[in-house]
Amino acid sequence: MTYAPQIKIPATYMRGGTSKGVFFRLSDLPETAQTPGPTRDNILLRVIGSPDPYQKQTDGMGGATSSTSKTVILSKSTQPDHDVDYLFGQVSIDKPFVDWSGNCGNLTAAVGAFAINSGYVPQDRIPENGTAVVRIWQANIRKTIIANVPITNGEVQETGDFELDGVTFPAAEVQVEFMDPADGEGSMFPTGNLVDELEVPGVGTLKATMINAGIPTVFINAEAVGYNGTELQDDINSDPKALAMFESIRAHGAVKMGLIQNIEEAAARQHTPKVAFVAPPAGYTASSGKKINASDIDVLVRALSMGKLHHAMMGTAAVAIATAAAIPGTLVNLAAGGGDRTSVTFGHPSGTLQVGAEAKEVNDQWTATKAIMSRSARILMEGWVRIPDEA
């Protein structure tokens, strides 16, 4: 019988927006995992319960969806005028890898609270009652994010009456500002075009808006691939051919965006880019049974994450939606009716979400200055996670 003692690592299990993840302080990780590399990845894989050929993550903290197979490592910021460094690891469910290529916008709402509770924010910047401004350095994409965290009696307020479609219970509102949200170096539109012709073997030539904002995202029109934009998770996720088609679109978009050199590399970069399809407003019934009227929204958006249709909307993809909607001529803007706009309300499988963005054209190049959305966050459990010492 093989024996390996278990080690325990201080951790906090948090919900942020419509995601959940295991949060660690960098200094609490085993010394060998305090620097990037296979040891760190193997520990996080074991914590979450991956790789799992059953795709259940029963023997770990993951919830067997892209929204709940997440890890966060936080530390006192190394950057001037920032409070905390935020590193996000998207853990594959059935494969042995952690994708460090992008951010999680939903969990960003929880980063602010964690930073305050961990003492990363100076006490003199935390009001007795009011809002604490937490300056986050997003280390994956090297961007600044501001979390406005409500404070009551000197402590983070988690409960409240702010409702977020995709989250069952109301909570306190956390406004998150993504500063200069173009993701990575170079142009926000890496091909130089607001709309491209994307050739996908077996699918055809599709109009596509490929944007780096919040997270690299490939937008296509729903009708071009036989959908109407009101689909729920089962409509896509129960169809292996549809999933394979979207993965092919994503992979070819990644090549055209310059994120990978060839199609084969897409398998090792599941977290980015995202692929999403858009359509003009139409009424539908959300996954909760809530009726969404066409008049409630500006545009319909459905997005895939880690190979499956997302149950609501990734926070970073919401930034991409808001930014693209603010730029006349993109597929998102056109589906929303065209013209100038600084905010957009979109329909997703769980309901609706309003996001704002500011974009401007300078020397024939579009840039985004800020994107804003409201989320909520809550500690679900804190203590230690245990894993076999062999991890």
Considering only CA atoms, give the Rg of the chain: 20
- Whether residue 115 contacts residue 80, with contact meaning beta carbons closer than 8 Å, is answered with no
Question: Are the C-beta atoms of residues 73 and 87 closer than 8 Å to each other?
Answer: yes
**Residue of 104, 210, 306, 313 with catalytic role:** 104
Q: Can you list the pairs that 27-32 forms with residues at least 24 positions away whose Cβ atoms lie under 8 Å?
A: 27/75, 29/73
The one catalytic residue in 210, 306, 313, 314 is 314
**What is the separation, in whole angstroms, between the first and last Cα of the chain?**
18
Query: Are residues 148 and 175 in contact, defined by beta-carbon separation less than 8 angstroms?
Result: yes
Residue 74 token pair: 């936080």
Note if the bond before 51 is cis, omega within 30 degrees.
yes
Residues in CB range of 358: below 8 A, 6 or more apart = 326, 342, 368, 369, 370, 371
Distance between CA 333 and CA 352 in Å, rounded? 17
Which of 388, 307, 386 has the alpha carbon at shortest distance from 61? 386
Residue 245 annotated to the active site: no
Closest CA to 279 of 253, 262, 252, 299: 299
225-229 contacts, C-beta under 8 A, 24 or more apart: 225/249, 225/277, 227/277, 227/279, 227/302, 228/279, 228/282, 228/300, 229/277, 229/278, 229/279, 229/280, 229/282, 229/300, 229/301, 229/302, 229/347
Largest CA distance in the chain: 68
**Preceding peptide of 273 cis, ω within 30°:** yes
Active site residue 104: yes
Q: Which residues form the catalytic set?
A: 104, 314
